[in-house]
Amino acid sequence: MRHLRRKYSPASLVRCRSCSWDRPHTQRPEPKPPASCRTAGGEMQEANSHGRPSCSVTPRVPRYLRTAAALAAAVQSLINAPPPRRESQSLHAQLLTSGLRPTADLSVKLLILHLRCGSHRNARAVFDGMPRPTNAAHNYLVAGYLHLGLPGEALGILRRLAASTGRLDVFALSMALKLSGALALPRATREVQARVVRSLAELDDILVAALVDAYVKNASLGYARRVYGMVPKPSVVCSTALIVGCMNQGLYRDAEAIFDRVEEKDVVVYNAMVEGYSKTEETAEGSLEVFKAMQRARFRPTVSTCVSVLGACSLLSSPELGEQVHCQVIKSKVISDIKAGSALLDMYSKCGRVEEGRRVFDGMAERNVITWTSMIDGYGKNGLSDEALLLLEEMRGQQRGVRPNHATFLSALSACARAGLLSRGQEVFQSMERDCSLRPRMEHYACMVDLLGRFGGVRQAYDFVRGIPARPNSDVWAALLGAATLHGDVDIADVASREVFELSRAGRPGAYMAFSNTLAAAGKWDSVHQVREMMKQRGVLKDAACSWVGSDNCPPVN
C-alpha cells in the first residue's frame, strides 16, 4: 500500500457531482468519521471508459478513509445499508484518489456494492480492474448479472472462469445450471452435468435440485427423471422441481406419486401441486383438495397459494367456493397484496359477480396495470361495456397513475365488440398509438376485424385487413372468415379460408367447419365435400361439443 504524493492546496475548492463537499479546506476542519463510516453523496452515475466513477474534479479524501481497513469498513457499511446507497460512487472515487491499491477482498466488496446499487457496468469495471479475479469475484458477478436480468453476460463470465481455472465450484456449477434453464439451452445443461460427474465424487443436494430444475425448464423431463433417480433420498427442493415438470406435461399421477413420497413437506411443494392442478377445468378440483390438505397440515397459505386456488375457482365458475377462499385470504393476511387482490376481482368477474369484483377493486390500497385490466375485462365479459370504457377513461385520466398497456386496450376493444359499439371501438383503436404511443398488435387487428365484420360490413372488414402494415396472422384471417360466414359472403370466405389453411394447416378445426358451413348455405355441396376430404387428409378433427349442467344439490355434470 502506498499513499498518493499529490499535495492539495489549503485554499483549493473541491467540487464533485457525486459528493456534497464544496468548501475551502481552510474554512472547515476535516470531518470526523461517523459511526458507520458513511460519506455524504449525490446521485449514482455510470462508470466512464476507464471504470472510474464520473466526477468533475478529484474529490478530497478524508483522513479516516486513507487506509484499506477504513475503506473496507465503509464499503461494508454501505452494502449492509438499505437502498438507495447513493454514496457508492463517491466512495469508489475516494479509493481511486487515495493512492491505495485495493486488495482482492476490497475489490470484491466494491463489486458487490455496485451490484446492490444496480450498476452492472461499474461492477464489471471493478472486476476487469482486478489483476487476478478470485472465484468469489466471478461468482458474485455471475449472481449479480442473473439478478439484473442479464443471463447472457453471466454465462460469458462462467465460461471465462472455466477456461482460466479448468474447474468450477459447487456455486458456479449451480449458477451455470440456472442460466442454462433460463436461456433454454438443453445442451449446456448436459455439459454442466458431465462436468459435475467428472469433478465431484458425490452429488450435492443443491446440484441435484439445480440439475432437475434446469432439465424441467428445458422440457427434458426424461433427463430430469434420470437425475432424480440417481439420488437415494431426494430433497424436498428436488422433488418440487420434478413435480412442476410432471404437472407441465400433464402427468398428474406421476406428480402425485412424487408428492406422496416426500417425507418432510413444506409450503413450496404444496404450492407446486396447487398451481399444477389449477391450470385446467378437469383438474381444478384437485387444486382445492390439496389446498384443504395444506391447511390440515398447519401450513399458512402464501400469496402464490391464494392466487392459484382463486384461479381454480374461476375455472369451476364457482363463486361460492371463491367466497370461501376469499375468507381464507383475509385470515392469511395476504389480502393487501396486489396479486391476491387482482386474482380476487378476476375470480368474481369470471363467476359473474362483477359487483363484488368492483368492491375488491375499490378497496385495494395499490393498483397496477394488471388490476385495472382485469376490472375492465370483467366489465366487458359481463356485458357492461359502458362501465369498461368509463374505467378505461378513468385510468387514462390519472396524472401520475398507471398507464394502459396492450392488454388493457385489447380488453376495451373486446368489450366494444361484444356490445356492438363500432364507433367507440374505432376511437379506442385509434387512441392506442395517438395518445399512448402503443402500436397495435395482431390481436388488436383481429378484434377490430371481428367488430367491423359483425356490426359494420364484411367488405369494410376485408378492406381493413388489406390495410394492415404487416402480414396478418391466422387470428386476423379467422376473424374475417367468421364475419364472412355470418354474412354468407362466399368470395371473402374463400379468400380468408385459404390464408387460414396456409398459416395453420391443422390448428384451426373451427375454420374448416365455418368455411364448410358457408359453402353449404350457398348450396355448393361439391366444395363442401372437398373441404371435408381436406380435413381427413390433414388429420383435422372437429372438437367435440360439451355443455355443463349444475344445481344447488349436486356437482356439475356434462
Kindly state the percentage of the chain with pLDDT values over 90.
41
Distance between CA atoms of residues 158 and 252, nearest Å: 36
> Within 13 Å of residue 431, how many CA atoms lie on the same side as its CB?
17
Which pLDDT tens digit goes with each residue over 415-429?
999 999 999 999 999
Place of cell 385510468: 395
Amino acid at 542: K
3-state secondary structure of 540: coil
- b/e code 372-381 from CB counts within 10 Å (16+ = b): bbbbbbbbbb
* pTM score over 0.75: no
Q: What is the 3-state secondary structure (H, E, C) of 255-283?
A: HHHHHHHCCCCCHHHHHHHHHHHCCCCCC
Residue 202 C-alpha cell reads as 458425490
Reference 371, options 397, 399, 400, 348; nearest CA is 348
Query: In this structure, what DSSP letter does residue 400 have?
Result: S
> Which residues, listed in sequence order, are joined to residue 557 by a DSSP beta bridge?
549
pLDDT at 67: 65
Task: Compute CA distances 159 → 67, 168, 173, 286, whole Å.
Answer: 35, 10, 11, 44
Amino acid at 118: G
Domains of the chain, by residue range, sit at 1-132, 448-539
**Low-confidence spans in the chain with pLDDT less than 50:** 1-61, 64
279 burial via Cβ count (<10 Å: 0-12, 13-18, 19+): middle
Distance between CA atoms of residues 553 and 545, nearest Å: 25
DSSP 151-200: HHHHHHHHHHHHHHHS---HHHHHHHHHHHHHTT-HHHHHHHHHHHHHH-
pLDDT at 530: 85
CATH architecture assigned to 448-539: Alpha Horseshoe (1.25)
Start-to-end CA span in the chain (Å) = 81
Is the peptide bond preceding residue 440 cis, with omega within 30 degrees of 0? no
Distance between CA atoms of residues 136 and 109, nearest Å: 10
